[in-house]
Structure 1
Amino acid sequence: MSDEAATDRLWRSVDDLWTWLEAESPVGGREGLLLRVLKLSEEVGEVAEAVIGTLGQNPRKGTTHTWDDVHAELCDVALTALIALRTLTPDARGAFEAHVAGVARRSLGPPS
């Protein structure tokens, strides 16, 4: 599968998940939007919990997670952010790609 096909599939999945969440969410409007953005904090907390669990830093619990768990939680953060972005704009892909290009330009300089 080409990179472009994989990217298209990713954004179709984001749109499909957003559509599903919109249909199933008991709270809509501005409050629903705020809750969707707040979901990011929950997911980031799960990353922290997984890292702590991977390193065994809670003496009461010991080692409870693996680095694969951390990877999965980071993917949940990324997906949650993309769905929140899709909630704010129907052109989430365009907004994200433009932002990444801007960050790359600022950080790496103009493309060679």
Structure 2
Amino acid sequence: MDDHTPQPPPSPDLWATVDTLSEWLDTHRPVEGREGVLLRILKLSEEVGEVSEAVIGATGQNPRKGVTHTWDDVQSELCDVVITALLALRTLTPEAREVFGRHLERVAKRSLGTTRAPLDR
């Protein structure tokens, strides 16, 4: 391999980043308590709507607007959904990593009929 080949930047640690973002959100939360938790969960619906908007825009399905988005936009919006869901889960429990890992294992076992290797911890 050529020493001058650019290398991709290292990926951030998923759960460390989720924890950091969760802490940041907690310090900037305009609504506290139960309502704040519920609003963080409802944010997920907003993000899913943005995925729908991007798909409609990428396919030009609104004849009045035409093509307004790219498939890269759809990818970005899907990432926002994942991040928002992980943050909502983290808001509900500090053990979000373990809760998600166990659930993913159950889904994999149910879907694939076998237990897959555990997530990197």
TM-score, normalized by length of structure 1? 0.91
Partner of 2:16: 12
What amino acid is the match of 2:67?
T
Larger Rg: 2
Is 1:108 equivalent to 2:112 in the alignment? yes
Residues 1:83 and 2:105 are matched in the alignment = no
Is 2:51–2:78's contact at 8 Å kept on the other side of the alignment? yes
In structure 1, the partner of 2:62 is 58
Please tell me whether residue 46 in structure 1 is matched to residue 50 in structure 2. yes
Partner of 2:34: 30
Which segments of 5 or more consecutive residues in structure 2 lack a partner in the other structure? 1-9, 117-121
2:73 aligned partner: 69
Across the aligned residues of Structure 1 and Structure 2, the Cα RMSD in angstroms comes to 1.5
Question: How many angstroms apart in 1 are the aligned matches of 2:74 and 2:114?
Answer: 33
Deviation of the 1:110 alpha carbon: 2.1
1:19-49, Cα deviation, whole Å (9 max, x unpaired): 0000001101100000000000000000000
* Paired positions, count: 107
Q: Which has the higher contact order (CA 8 A, sep 6+)?
A: 1
- Please give the per-residue CA displacement for 1:53-109, whole angstroms capped at 9, x wherever unaligned: 000011111000000000000000000000000000001110001000000011111
Give me the whole-angstrom Cα distance separating, in 2, the residues matched to 1:42 and 1:17. Answer: 18
Partner of 1:93: 97
Distance 1:30 1:111 in 2: 36
Percent identity of paired positions between Structure 1 and Structure 2: 65
Rounded Cα–Cα distance in structure 2 between residues aligned with 1:87 and 1:49: 27
